[in-house]
């Protein structure tokens, strides 16, 4: 067997492992995708047989190879100001809380990917609040690979297309020219963020809360309802009363959000 083919039995073994350890549900239609992504990792470790690679992952007691496998499987699609309505809501509620005398703010970006989303949150706070001295954003992801990118906070011109020019000038430093131009996030934003690996299917989470706002966008679509319900209950626990939860516009959570009150589509509040 070469790395271009994976038999159904071995595919199902990977599917079960990925579900048990990451909560990600993969259907039969994902077999070619899984084979392709695992093939990349297998070439790096010098294994050409999928079944042998599965045993290699299972026998690695450090679980570092499992982390690498999950890095390859997890999808990380993101951009600055994706689904911009949420950042308008964030600005409004933060301004209201500050006007009421709140000075300490704690937020969580549950699927940080390569960092565009939590940095957009940070820009929104810096533009809205009079002071961000006691403002912290926890940015987590399953993938260590994308978290490394997020910590660096350096993006090419293509990734910056959605960021208004005046905000680029305030919150990024530029280097290079033309297609090679790169934009580095300013220390002012970075000091607001803490990046950490977190598996959203392994509940309870180590955070204590209470949190003011949680962004958990476009990640629950990969989970089944059992995992989604557990995750929503845990986020409810972590949020303060009157705290906000933002989910992806495409995520259907009807029947799962009994404890939350809908404010507008994809925006919820803990009563």
Active site residues: 37, 141
3-class SS shares of the chain: helix, strand, coil, % to 5: 45, 20, 35
DSSP conformation letters of 130-169: S--TTEEEEEEES-HHHHHHHHHTEEEGGGGTTS-HHHHH
* Helices 31-45 & 50-59 angle (0-180, nearest 10): 70
* C-alpha distances in Å from residue 133, one per residue of 20, 97, 139, 188: 40, 15, 18, 10
Whole-angstrom distance, CA of residue 80 vs CA of residue 83:
9
Whole-angstrom distance, CA of residue 122 vs CA of residue 58:
39
Whole-angstrom distance, CA of residue 88 vs CA of residue 74:
28
């Amino acid at each position: 067997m070469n790395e271009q083919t994976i038999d159904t039995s071995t595919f199902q073994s990977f599917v079960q492992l990925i579900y048990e350890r990451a909560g990600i549900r993969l259907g039969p239609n994902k077999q070619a995708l899984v084979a392709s992504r695992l093939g990349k990792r297998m070439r790096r470790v010098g294994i050409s047989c999928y079944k042998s690679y599965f045993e290699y992952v299972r026998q690695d007691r450090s679980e570092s190879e499992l982390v690498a496998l999950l890095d390859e499987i997890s999808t990380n699609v993101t951009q600055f100001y994706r689904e911009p309505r949420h950042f308008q809501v964030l600005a409004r509620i933060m301004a209201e809380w500050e006007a009421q005398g709140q000075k300490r703010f704690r937020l969580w970006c549950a699927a940080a990917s390569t960092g565009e989303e939590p940095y957009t949150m940070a820009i929104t706070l810096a533009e809205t609040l009079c002071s961000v001295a006691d403002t912290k954003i926890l940015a987590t992801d399953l993938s260590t690979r994308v978290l490394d990118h997020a910590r660096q906070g350096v993006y090419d011109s293509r990734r910056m297309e959605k960021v208004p020019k005046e905000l680029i000038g305030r919150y990024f430093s530029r280097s290079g020219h033309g297609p090679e131009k790169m934009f580095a996030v300013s220390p002012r934003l970075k000091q607001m963020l803490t990046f950490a690996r977190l598996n959203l299917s392994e509940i309870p989470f180590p955070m204590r809360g209470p949190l003011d706002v949680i962004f958990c966008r476009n990640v629950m679509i990969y989970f089944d309802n059992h995992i989604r319900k557990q995750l929503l209950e845990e986020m409810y626990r972590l949020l303060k009363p009157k705290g906000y939860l933002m989910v992806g516009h495409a995520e259907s959570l009807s029947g799962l959000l009994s404890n939350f009150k809908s404010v507008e589509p994809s925006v919820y509040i803990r009563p």
